[in-house]
């Protein structure tokens, strides 16, 4: 039963889109770190390019059995939330009322989409 659940989850677009967002955020973080570190610059850039090159493969998987609009919407929602969290946690960007409102709206949009 558990393997069926894992297999079903691996076919759901939200799994693949979450993977895409993670790959993108790690890639962007590594690129930013490459600007700050001469010692590991080549490693950061190479790793970033390799991770980012996996994005199209994951997106292709997200489209299996789903509509492109739904997969794209998941991608946008998760990228926005991930970018806000990354900016706050890694780059010490301020998190004000505008960001709070945008996260609330994104969560509402995600809930509406998941229940549609």
Number of other CB atoms surrounding residue 77 within 10 Å: 20
Is residue 64 within 8 Å of 14, Cβ to Cβ?
no
pLDDT digits (tens), the chain, 116 positions: 555 555 555 567 788 888 998 999 999 899 888 889 899 988 998 998 889 888 888 888 877 766 776 777 777 777 877 887 888 887 787 878 877 787 787 778 767 766 65
| Helix, strand or coil, per DSSP, at residue 43 | helix
CA terminus-to-terminus distance, the chain:
26
CA–CA gap between residue 45 and residue 62 (Å, rounded): 26
Quote the pLDDT of residue 19.
92
Helices (H) and strands (E) in the chain, counts: 6, 0
Quote the pLDDT of residue 6.
55
Domain count, the chain: 1
pTM above the 0.85 mark? no
Task: Provide the residue range defining the domain that includes 85.
Answer: 2-115
Quote the pLDDT of residue 12.
73
């Amino acid at each position: 039963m558990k393997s069926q659940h894992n297999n079903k989850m691996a076919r759901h677009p939200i799994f693949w889109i979450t993977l895409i967002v993670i790959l993108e955020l790690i890639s962007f973080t590594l690129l930013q770190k490459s600007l700050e570190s001469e010692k590991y610059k080549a490693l950061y850039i190479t790793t970033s390019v390799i991770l980012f090159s996996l994005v199209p493969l994951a997106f292709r998987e997200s489209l299996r059995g789903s509509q492109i609009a739904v997969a794209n919407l998941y991608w946008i929602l998760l990228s926005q939330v991930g970018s806000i969290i990354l900016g706050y946690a890694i780059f010490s960007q301020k998190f004000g009322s505008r960001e709070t409102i945008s996260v609330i709206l994104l969560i509402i949009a995600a809930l509406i989409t998941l229940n549609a």
